[in-house]
Each structure stands twice: as C-alpha cells, then as structure tokens.
Amino acid sequence: MALPARREGHPEPLHQPGEDELSHRLEKIWESPRGLWGWLTTVDHKKIGTRYLATAMLFLVVGGVEALVIRIQLALPEAHVISPEAYNQFFSMHGATMILWYAAPVLSGFGNYLVPLFIGSRDMSFPRLNAFSYWTFLLSGLLLYSSLFFGTAPDTGWFSYVPLAGRRFDPDLNVDFYAVALILFTISNTAGAINFVSTILKHRAPGMTVSRMPLFLYSTGTASMLSILAMPALAVGCVFLELDRQWGFHFFEVNRGGDAILWQHLFWFFGHPWVYIVFLPATGMISLLLPVFARRPIVGYPYVAGATVMTGIVGMGVWVHHMFAIGMGQMAMSFFAAASMTISLFSTIQIFCWLATLFLGKPVRTTALLFALGFIATFVIGGLSGVVTAVIPFDWQVHDTYFVVAHLHYVLIGANVFPVIAGFYYWLPKMTGRLLSERLGKWSFWISFVGFNVGFFPMHLSGLLGMRRRVYTFLAGDGISSFNLLTTIGAFVLAAGILISVINFFWSLKKGRPAGPNPWHADTLEWATSSPPRAHAFTRQPTVNSLHPLWDEHGTWAEPLDHGRQTLSTTKIDAEPESISTGEPETILPLLLALGLTAILCALLAKSLPLAAVFTVVSLALAGIWMWPVLPEHGEPESFGSLKIDETRGTLGMKLFIASEAILFVCLFFAYFYLGHRNMEWPTEPPKLAKALIMLAMLLASSVVLHFAEKRKDRILLAGTIVLAFAFLAVQVSEYREHLQTLKPWDSAYGSTFYTLTSFHAAHLIIGLSMLIFALILPRLEPREHTPHKPLHNSTIYWHFVDVIWVCIVGLLYVLPRFK
C-alpha cells in the first residue's frame, strides 16, 4: 500500500545541492579499500553493522534448526528420533545460540549501522574497537561450535548450572568450550557497549539535546550501560567454572567450602539484565517506526524515554527473581518479588504510549507496522505471564515447567524477533537501496504470527499440567500429547513464515523497486542520506532544531569537515559543538588482536600455560601497535576554526572500561563474602599482613610518583613508577611462595578465592604496567598527532584504579578477618 504524501508544511529531507565535488572528495577519504584486504581491514560502521546482522541471522537459522529437531522429538509421546544425549546437546546449543549469539548481536548490527546516521555522525566513536567487537563476536561463536569437533557439544543448558556442569558429571571438553566462548563473548559485548555509549554521548549533531534524541538512542544507550555493568558477572562465573573444571579449584564444591548457588547468583546477575539488553533496543526500534506509519509524532516521548532508562536501572536489581525455588529468607524474596512487579510498570507506560500514537494517528498498514503490532500483542502476553511468576507461591508451582518456557519465548521471540523483522522491512531499503515486497511481507507476517501463537501459547497449558523443562520425552498418559503436537506444528509454521521473509530479502536485492532516500517519509536523520548511504554519509553534518528534523525546519553544520576522516564532537547534554573528532584508518589489527585473545583461551583450554603466556605477550604487543600514534593521512589541522581536535574520547572510553572492571571486582568480592558467610569458620587463619602492607605502601607511593610524572611530563618519575610496579610483583611472588607452604588454591574454597582474587589484581596490574611502559617508550609522553588517545593520562587513571582495588583487597582479605 502506498504511503500518503508528507503532511503539508513538512520540508523534504536534508539535501545539499551543488556540492558534488566536495562529496566526491569526502568519499575518496572515507571509502574502504576494495578486495579481500579491504574486507578484512574495514572500520566502516555500516559494513560492520551489516556483518553483525548477517552473522546474527545465520545463528538464528542454526538455532532455529536446532529448535525444530527438538520439536520433532517432542511431537509425539515416547518418540526416539534422537538419543537423550543428543537431545541435551540440541536444547543447550539452541538456548545458547538464540539467547546469546543471536538476540543481542542482531540489535548490535542495527545499532552499528544506524546510530551514527541517527545522530548525524560519520562513524562510531572508536572505529577500530568496533571492528574488534565484531571479530571477537564471530570467533566466540565459532569457538562454541568447534566443540562439535571434540566429540560433544555443550549439554548442560544455556545456563550451565553446577554441579551438573562440573567435571565430575560432565568430564568432556564441551562445557569448557562453552565457558571460554562466553568469556570471549563478554569481551566483544563490553567493547561494543563502550563504543555505543561514547558515540551517543559525544557525537550527536548540534542541537540534538538529550530531549531531542531518537528513542532508539535511549534504548541502545541503556542496554549498553547494562552490558558494561552485567557482563563482568558472567565472565567471573565462567572463570570460576573453568578453574574448578580444569585446575582443581573449589568454588562450587560443597565439601570443600564452595556452594553451587554462587554460580546462580553470578549467572543471573548477568542473566536478568540480559533480558533487557536483548529487549530494550527492540522497543527503541518500535518507538521509531511506529510514529512514521501512524503519520504523527509519538505520544508521551519523555515518558517512553524515562521508562526505558528506569527499566534498565530496576532491571539490575531483580536477578533473584530466577532463584525463588532455591530456598532463601522471606524478606529477601519479598523484596525481589516487589522489584519484579515494579519493573512491569515501565513496560506498561511504553505500551500505552504506542497504542495512543496509533489511536491518534492515521496508520498505514505496511509489513513493518504489522510486525510492530504483532510485537505489541505478543509482548503483552509474555509480560503478563512474566509478572505472575513474581508471585512467589505461583513461581514455585511453575518453576522449571513449560509455562516458563512459554513466557521466555513470548518475550524473546515476540519482543525480539518480531521487532527485528519489522526493523528489516523498515531499514533494509536504506541499507540496500531496494524495497522489499509488501505482498510477501504480509504473507510472512500472518504465517509467522499464527505459527508463533499456535506453537507457544499451548506451552502455558502443558506447563500448568506439569510438563517439565528439558525432558527428552513424555508418556501418552500425561495428558499433554495434543499440546506438544500443536507446539511442533506451530514451530514449523513459524519457521515457514520467517523463511518467506528471507526469500523476500534475496528477491528484493535484484528485483525490488528502488527505495530512494526516504520511501517512508520518515522523520529521523538516517533518511537524509542516500540509499544505501555513501561511505562518508553526510557531506555537511546536519544540525537539529526539533525531535523530528526531517518533518520540521533544520539547517546544516557550516563547515564541511573535509580535512581527512573527521566528524563532530559535541557536549554530552546540550549537543553544543565542542571539538573535531578524527577518524581511524583501515587496519588488520582488530582481527589480529581478536585472534590473539582466542589463541590465549584455546591455550588455556589445552592447559598449556607457557603457550598462553606467549600469546599474551603477542596480544599486548598488538595492542601497543594499535595504540601507537600515527601522523594523519590527509593533514588534519590541530584545530578547525574555534574547535580543537577531540582529546577526550579515549579518556571517556577508559572510564567506561574501568566501570566494567570495577563491577568485575565487586563480583569477586561478593564471591568471597558469600562463601565466607556459608562457612562461618572461614578463614581459620587470616593471611599474613606484613608483605601485603609493604605492597600497599609500594602501590600508594607509585600513584603519588605517577601523579607528578603526568603533571610534569617527566620520564624519570614515570620510570620510577614502573620500578615500583615490578617491585610489587616481586613481593607478591614471594608472598605466594610463602602462602603455598600452608594454603593451596586446590585445598579449599577459601584458598581458591584468595588466590583468584589476588591473581586477578596482579593481572590488572600487569595490564596497567604494560600501559605505563608503552607511554614511556612513546616519542612524546602525550602525543600531539591528532589522536583521541592520551596514553599517559589514561594509564594514570587506570593505575589509580588498580591501586584502589589493592586497598580494598588488603582491607577485606587481610585486615577484616582479624576482627572476627
């Protein structure tokens, strides 16, 4: 159906006539090299976003096939299509693939492609980090599936609960591949999240204040902050799991002072925010496309924005919602139950604003709108089935039944897959320059919507009748045969509906009608570019005067910013022009560093510490080459009019990284206190204090010396800090030798926790030491060569953080036990 013409008085999309020469010059500056080398080295956010989307959709297909195999096995009672062992592997890989390697990365794909275009920027804040996040994501998925070549795939569920995931019950390498793949995945996700937050805060078009940002920026920014704060818990849990399985530690072994519930706390501290990480950006997509097809601005913009942020804030505090059945105090359960119910209010606000927008507008029935409406309907059902599980007695009844499986799929498919498909129909014309077939799209929607509800609504009923999760088969007398058959039929119908959209995509690439710059008459800045966008996207970066820049009056940034790869940096709140941000050239280093980290994890998987050490040195060297300042290719000036070259991006990225690292240590301290609480006599004898205090004095002195080294730009003082750091490591090695006489990490959970915590700090100290050495060998302590990075300043910030952590370790591990 054709869209009505733009409302009278609304100008056409942003256009800069008579600037072909300027555009051509900028395109030569920004375009990536052609061929294989260009493919491996590109840092173009549009190409990286496309790769994210393609890779995530491939994982969706793989996870979908795994789901269909599961449903074939459960179509009829007492079936034997696959073995019980194979069934365990299929449902584990299905869950991990769909929840982790599809759901969030596909949204990262949209974010990578669209966020710079939404805000009038030419690229992400850290283009090379963007490429690195993709390569680590891809390699983590390949690492997960490479377990198939070693006999078996992970088979303990996507949550991999201990003790089932321990070496005793699962001695093969499959769970080890799961753990190391997740560690690499957390690195990828955290790097991407830091990039999104920095881009949204620093590179919005002039005039795009926080009250004029597209709602997708609120949802993606909130989800990114959740990733920064939640992913460390998953990393710590996976490290604990690997230390238990491979090196004989005892974090989860009860008879050595460990506790299996510790894994659940760490996993769900990540796992519940992850629900919002894979959901919030999807709601942002709906909030953007719904007003376009309703032909009016969204109702309640500030309420939707506030509800999005509050969902993230409250979502960080409800992880025990998943653990009501483990047995805990009534007060604690009541608190988390109340928080779980409260969080539904924010989703309700968004739903009512969407419905009001449709009611007050003049909806145009496109495929994208149909999938958006399907999302609203399924999300309401999924939300209601989720709220009731916050009622503790009801949660006890349906825990680990198919009722929870139904809720999970309504939330993850209804609130992720449907918005994603809506987003494809809405934004693929921008990405490919071709419109998709509306007829095929509507067939796809109705088949998918019917198949989804036929498939997953009966799961509620089979769950209430007692069907357990993760069962290999069931008996005909259980009274759930018809529901299981319906679920299997619905799953295949849903798959057929999605397949039609896949066919539609490939058909449109060759036969689709040309889209033009703005086929939907939309209001956001991405539609002011060509379809597909040029490498530099905006010839002159736009200014914004309202929430709907293409529906209202707007202007353009006065300067073309054509002295190399440049984009504008603005203030965080009011988006006032602040500085000029220099881009980064194509490089193979992100891929090489991702391969280096993968090699370290594979060496640890093989229990080869020497090989892991070699790959660690190589990776640190690659990171040094990455950060080495280079002269600009196109002679960018140190200033542009009144605007200087931006030197704060690297510092913002470092601060966000430190925030993530701080949560990592909070999780380690939590494990220490949690296990200590479960073992009242632990530790029987506190560690010796003398050397810890000596190391504390060394680090405090090193921070003072480093402060003056930075202030005075003094290499001698910087070298003094490095000497103190090496002295700290020497004393710590001596302390370890002394402690190992009476306390070994494989003796008890206390020994495991003590050595892990202090070793984590030592690892961070070595990273900080490497940064200081890098700063020392630079030609200038603070380069002026138009770089967003200030190596000495950022190293100083990180070093102070490492020192603060050691102060906490001395107080909590060495001093506090003496007062018990």
pLDDT tens profile 125-163: 999 999 999 999 999 999 999 999 988 899 999 999 999
Helices (H), 361-437: 367-387, 392-398, 402-412, 418-432
User: What percent of the chain lies above the pLDDT cut of 70?
Assistant: 94
Q: For residues 532 and 47, give the distance between their C-alpha atoms in angstroms, rounded to a whole number.
A: 11
Please enumerate in sequence order all residues whose Cβ is within 8 A of that of 454, keeping only pairs 6 or more positions apart, or say none: 486, 487, 489, 490, 493
Helices 609-627 and 589-605: angle between axes, nearest 10 degrees: 160
Specify the 3-state DSSP secondary structure of 11: coil
| CB contact burial 384-411 (16+ within 10 A = b; e otherwise) | ebbbebbebeebeebbebbbbbbbbbbb
Classify 355 in phi/psi space as left (phi over 0), alpha (psi -120 to 50) or beta.
Answer: alpha
Q: Which of 346, 118, 368, 101 is nearest to 221 (CA)?
A: 118
Helices 103-118 and 215-247: angle between axes, nearest 10 degrees: 140
Rg (CA), the chain: 27
- Residue 643 · residue 578 · CB < 8 Å: yes
Would you say how long the chain is, in residues? 820
Handedness of CA 37, 38, 44, 48 (dihedral sign): negative
- Residue 322 · residue 268 · CB < 8 Å: yes
- Chain-centre distance for alpha carbon 611: 29
391 DSSP assignment: S
Q: For residues 223 and 115, give the distance between their C-alpha atoms in angstroms, rounded to a whole number.
A: 14
**Of 397-411, 595-609, 770-784, 798-812, the least confident:** 770-784
**Of 1-10, 36-45, 218-227, 240-249, the least confident:** 1-10
Count CA within 13 A, CB hemisphere, residue 656.
24
What does the block give as tokens for 609? 């510490």
Which pLDDT belongs to residue 325?
Answer: 84
Q: Which of 57, 106, 69 is nearest to 501 (CA)?
A: 57
User: What are the C-alpha distances in Å from 243 to residues 113, 130, 253?
Assistant: 38, 30, 12
Q: Is 85 exposed, middle or buried (0-12, 13-18, 19+ CB in 10 A)?
A: exposed
- Residue 70 · residue 472 · CB < 8 Å: no
pLDDT at 296 over 90: yes
Count CA within 13 A, CB hemisphere, residue 784.
4
In which band, very low, low, confident or very high, does the pLDDT at 814 lie, cut at 50, 70 and 90?
A: very high
- Residue 49 · residue 110 · CB < 8 Å: yes
In which band, very low, low, confident or very high, does the pLDDT at 389 lie, cut at 50, 70 and 90?
A: confident
Specify the 3-state DSSP secondary structure of 518: coil
- Residue 476 · residue 78 · CB < 8 Å: yes
Which pLDDT belongs to residue 783?
Answer: 61
Q: Which of 350, 199, 230 is nearest to 288 (CA)?
A: 350
270 DSSP assignment: H
pLDDT at 738 over 60: yes
In which band, very low, low, confident or very high, does the pLDDT at 1 lie, cut at 50, 70 and 90?
A: very low
- Residue 562 · residue 26 · CB < 8 Å: yes
| Element holding 566 (H helix, E strand) | strand 566-570
pLDDT at 263 over 50: yes
Q: Which of 296, 178, 187 is nearest to 238 (CA)?
A: 178
Strands 566-570 and 542-543: unpaired
pLDDT at 646 over 80: no
Q: For residues 206 and 578, give the distance between their C-alpha atoms in angstroms, rounded to a whole number.
A: 9
Specify the 3-state DSSP secondary structure of 435: coil
Residue with tokens 């409260």: 342
DSSP H helix total and E strand total for the chain: 25, 6
- Residue 543 · residue 575 · CB < 8 Å: no
Specify the 3-state DSSP secondary structure of 609: helix
Specify the 3-state DSSP secondary structure of 466: coil
pLDDT at 642 over 70: no
Which pLDDT belongs to residue 632?
Answer: 54
What does the block give as tokens for 725? 């750091």
Q: What is the identity of the amino acid at 770?
A: S
687 DSSP assignment: P
User: What are the C-alpha distances in Å from 359 to residues 5, 298, 300?
Assistant: 20, 11, 13
The pLDDT of 716-742, averaged and rounded, is 94
Which pLDDT belongs to residue 8?
Answer: 36
- Residue 110 · residue 103 · CB < 8 Å: no
In which band, very low, low, confident or very high, does the pLDDT at 629 lie, cut at 50, 70 and 90?
A: confident
- Residue 788 · residue 579 · CB < 8 Å: no
pTM here is 0.94
DSSP letter for each residue of 31-46: PPPPHHHHHHH---HH
Residue with tokens 């991999």: 160
- Residue 220 · residue 244 · CB < 8 Å: no
Count CA within 13 A, CB hemisphere, residue 113.
26
More confident of the two residues 109 and 395: 109
DSSP β-bridge partners for residue 556: 542
Q: For residues 442 and 347, give the distance between their C-alpha atoms in angstroms, rounded to a whole number.
A: 27
DSSP letter for each residue of 610-675: HHHHHHHHHHHHHHHHHHS----TT---SEETTEEEP--HHHHHHHHHHHHHHHHHHHHHHHHHHH
Which pLDDT belongs to residue 578?
Answer: 87
What does the block give as tokens for 83? 């073995």
Convert the pLDDT of each residue in 671-697 to its tens digit.
999 998 888 667 667 888 999 999 999
513 DSSP assignment: P
- Residue 180 · residue 601 · CB < 8 Å: yes
- Residue 270 · residue 262 · CB < 8 Å: no
- Residue 178 · residue 158 · CB < 8 Å: no
User: What percent of the chain lies above the pLDDT cut of 90?
Assistant: 72
